Amino acid sequence: MDLILSTLLFCLHVVTVTCMFVDVVVDRYDIPRVCPREVQTEDFVRYHFNGTFFADGKQFDSSHDRGKAFISQVGLGRLIAGMDRGLQGMCVNEHRKITIPPHLAYGSIGTGGVIPPDAVLVYDVLLLDMWNTEDKVEIRTLGKPASCNRTTVASDFVRYHYNGTLLSGAAFDSSVSRNATYDTYLGQGDLIKGMDEGLLGMCVGERRVIIIPPFLAYGEIGHGTEVPPQATLVFEVLLVDVFNPKDDLIVEVKEVPEGCTRRTLKGDYIRYHYNGTFQDGTAFDSSHKRNNTYNTYIGMGYVIQGMDRALHGLCMREKRRITIPPHLAYGEEGVGDLIPGSAVLVFDIHVIDFHNTEDLVDIKVTHKPQECKVTSEADDLIQYRYNCSLMDGTLLYSSDHYDSPSITTLGADKVIPGLEEGLIGMCVGEKREVVVPPHWGHGENGAGGVPGSAVLFFELELVKLQKGVPEGFMFVWLGDAPDPLFPVMDLNGDKEVPLEEFSAFIFLQVKEGKGRLRPGVEVDAVIEEMFNNQDRNKDGKIVEDELKLQVDEESEQVRRDEL
Ligand SMILES: [Ca+2]
Ligand SMILES: [Ca+2]
Domains and CATH numbers, the chain: 2-131 (3.10.50.40), 138-243 (3.10.50.40), 257-353 (3.10.50.40), 362-466 (3.10.50.40), 475-554 (1.10.238.10)
pLDDT given at position 559: 45
Q: What is the 271 CA–ligand 1 centroid distance (Å)?
A: 68
Which amino acid, 154?
A
Q: Which of 44, 106, 160, 172 is catalytic?
A: 172
Enclosing H/E stretch for 82? helix 81-86
Active-site residue, from 80, 115, 192, 339 = 192
Q: What is the pLDDT of residues 212-232, one digit of tens each?
A: 999 999 999 999 999 999 999
- CA of 532 relative to ligand 2 center, distance in Å: 9
Distance 317 CA to ligand 2 centre (A): 67
Lowest mean pLDDT segment, chosen from 66-80, 183-197, 334-348, 544-558? 544-558
Per the annotation, the verdict on 218 as an active-site residue is yes
Q: Is 192 a catalytic residue?
A: yes
List beta partners, residue 1: none
Ligand nearest to the CA of 487: 1
Question: In the structure, how many helices (H) and strands (E) does the chain have?
Answer: 12, 28
Whole-prediction pTM: 0.78
Say whether 160 is catalytic.
no
Q: Using CA atoms, how far apart are residues 398 and 114, in angstroms rounded to an integer?
A: 103
The pair phi, psi for residue 98, each rounded to 5°, is -115, 115
**Separation of 501 CA from ligand 1 center, angstroms?**
7
- Ligand 1 centroid – CA 397 distance (Å): 53
Neighbouring residues of 364: CB distance < 8 A, sequence distance ≥ 6: 432, 433, 434
Ligand 1 midpoint to CA 486 (Å): 10
* Catalytic pick among 156, 173, 241, 380: 173
pLDDT at 555 over 80: no
pLDDT in tens, 245-278: 999 999 999 999 988 888 999 999 999 999 999 9
From 44, 157, 182, 235, the catalytic residue: 235
pLDDT of 388-410, one tens digit each?
Answer: 999 999 999 999 999 999 999 99
Mean pLDDT over the full length of the chain: 91
Q: Is the dihedral of CA 255, 260, 264, 265 positive or negative?
A: positive
The tens digit of pLDDT for each residue in 120-157 reads 999 999 999 999 999 999 999 999 999 888 999 999 99
More confident residue, 127 or 548: 127
